Amino acid sequence: MAHDQALRTLRAQLVAQPDGSPIRLAKPTSNLFRFREPPPANALDVSAFTGVLHVDPRERVAEVGGMTTYEDLVDATLPHGLMPTVVPQLKTITIGGAVAGLGIESTSFRAGMPHEAVLELEILTPDGEVVLARPDNEHSALFYGFPNSYGTLGYALRLRISLTPTRPFVALRHLRYPDAASCAAAITELAADPGVDFLDGTAFSGEELYLTVGRFTDSAPRLSDYTGRHIYYRSVRERVEDHLTARDYLWRWDTDWFWCSQALGAQHPLVRRLWPRRYLRSDVYRRIVALDRRFGLSARVDRLLGNPAREPVIQDIEVPVERLAEFLEFFDTEIGIRPVWLCPVTLREPRGWPLYPMPPGRMFVNVGFWATVPLRPGQPEGHHNRLIESRVTELGGHKSLYSDSYFTEDEFWLRYDGETYRELKETYDPRGRLPDLYAKCVGNR
């Protein structure tokens, strides 16, 4: 009843907004790296859609508000011995955001992406209508077209999702490889092992790559804690075996935002002792970076010191596993960021997801990298990102759209199925109340 009342209130807010006024959500957190001005005063209040409505342990399903964070979702499901099939690595990613904007983690080699666990979506369209999209009803085109639409076709307010069983602990084994080719071959081999529950990797250099294999277990001889003084990504090099609680495993990357907290000083031993543990988390770091980008503080310091301008290179891309070595060789030569994250992913849905046309059943490897790169004289802003976009396309890969993109409009629609998108837009947003996908993800509207 509370959900229905909240839905009526939100619809009234949306309908009351005049044509031509921008429609934005008043969300307290974001994991996008397309920074925009804060939402206007009339932004839609979606705070009522931030809870877990129901967990059914017998059927292994949950009904969830679209703005619910994975941190809250995991806290609601773990007591039942269950978890979402894919838990994106940062606590404040929302379930609706992971479906509309994609997500990935170390179960993705088998479970695909978060949207592949969705059974139905309750979507508020830009005209104020509420539709229930399922794979087998009159809104099936929207169900399959919603992933990677980034809130340009409507907003998911309620989702029904599948869950998967857990056990109390995760046993880890860090396996080292001397080159990308042997690492890629091992990904294929390990992904075929039914005893492997989790699989991802960390590449520190072209000669030092690790795959981390995780297996659920009912007991652990000892437990590590990476929520305070100790830093998870360093343990990949320092240990061969490790054990974590299931919850700590799911959030192992959040404490230090993978390794990005180092740029903010949070890994310095003295700073680490003084930094309150409750603020060692990705949403805190992201707010610091947002302030820096908004006011250009780092850029001003670089200019004062005579340092070259730096380009943010914050991306997640996927390439076929057999092309991983080629991509990493290019990346080392042209970009030079290390470490990088490696996460295998295979989509399961035979029909596919048109706005992110990755062939189902084929193994890809997500490569995640998040840093800045100095621009040499004559190199325009976006130089390195454009190189990456071009090389990923040549290798038959894809690029996530949560950060800066530089595709031309024709290039963009070739990669993200413009024909299907335009049909969906005409059906569910005929007045164009929301920006289209290109305008939002490239034009940053």
Q: What is the pLDDT of residues 203-228, one digit of tens each?
A: 999 999 999 999 999 999 999 999 99
Place of tokens 């164009």: 432
Instruction: Specify the number of domains making up the chain.
Output: 1
Q: Calculate mean pLDDT across residues 353-359.
A: 94
Asked whether the predicted pLDDT for residue 109 surpasses 80, the reply is yes
Q: What is the DSSP letter of 264?
A: G
In a domain, 333, yes or no: no
Kindly indicate the confidence band of residue 144, based on its pLDDT and cuts at 50, 70 and 90: very high
- pLDDT given for residue 224 in this prediction: 98
Asked whether the predicted pLDDT for residue 359 surpasses 70, the reply is yes
Place of tokens 């679209």: 66
In a domain, 8, yes or no: yes
For the ranges 3-17, 28-42, 319-333, 335-349, which has the lowest average pLDDT?
28-42
Q: Calculate mean pLDDT across residues 57-76.
A: 97
In a domain, 52, yes or no: yes
- pLDDT given for residue 43 in this prediction: 84
Asked whether the predicted pLDDT for residue 414 surpasses 90, the reply is yes
Asked whether the predicted pLDDT for residue 41 surpasses 70, the reply is no
State the residue range of the domain holding 141. 2-166
In a domain, 101, yes or no: yes
In a domain, 300, yes or no: no
Asked whether the predicted pLDDT for residue 20 surpasses 80, the reply is no
In a domain, 150, yes or no: yes
Q: Calculate mean pLDDT across residues 25-53.
A: 79
| Beta-sheet strands, E only, within 375-415 | 398-399
- pLDDT given for residue 188 in this prediction: 98
Q: Calculate mean pLDDT across residues 416-420.
A: 96
Q: Give the model confidence (pLDDT) of 234-250 as tens digits.
A: 999 999 999 999 999 99
CATH of the domain at 56: 3.30.465.10
What count of other Cβ atoms lies within 10 Å of the Cβ of residue 411? 16
For the ranges 93-102, 238-247, 287-296, which has the lowest average pLDDT?
287-296
Sequence-separated (6 or more) residues with CB below 8 Å from residue 203:
180, 183, 209, 210, 328, 338, 339, 340, 341, 342
In a domain, 276, yes or no: no
In a domain, 353, yes or no: no
The torsion angle over the Cα atoms of residues 369, 374, 379 and 381, rounded to 10 degrees, is: 60
**C-alpha to C-alpha distances, 164 to 82, 84, 87, nearest whole angstrom:** 5, 6, 11
Q: Give the model confidence (pLDDT) of 179-204 as tens digits.
A: 999 999 999 999 999 999 999 999 99
Asked whether the predicted pLDDT for residue 423 surpasses 90, the reply is yes
Check: CB of residue 191 under 8 Å from CB of residue 110: yes
One-letter identity of residue 281:
R
Asked whether the predicted pLDDT for residue 373 surpasses 80, the reply is yes
- pLDDT given for residue 430 in this prediction: 94
- pLDDT given for residue 229 in this prediction: 93
Helix (H, G, I), strand (E, B) or coil at 288: helix
Measured in residues, the chain has a length of 445
What is this structure's pTM? 0.94
Sequence-separated (6 or more) residues with CB below 8 Å from residue 402:
31, 32, 33, 34, 101, 102, 316
On the 0-12 / 13-18 / 19+ scale of CB atoms within 10 A, 19 is exposed
Mean pLDDT, all residues of the chain = 94
Asked whether the predicted pLDDT for residue 363 surpasses 70, the reply is yes
HEC-encoded secondary structure of 421-438: HHHHHHHHCCCCCCCCHH
Percent helix, strand and coil across the chain, each to the nearest 5:
35, 25, 40
Q: Give the model confidence (pLDDT) of 69-82 as tens digits.
A: 999 999 999 999 99
- pLDDT given for residue 167 in this prediction: 98
- pLDDT given for residue 75 in this prediction: 98
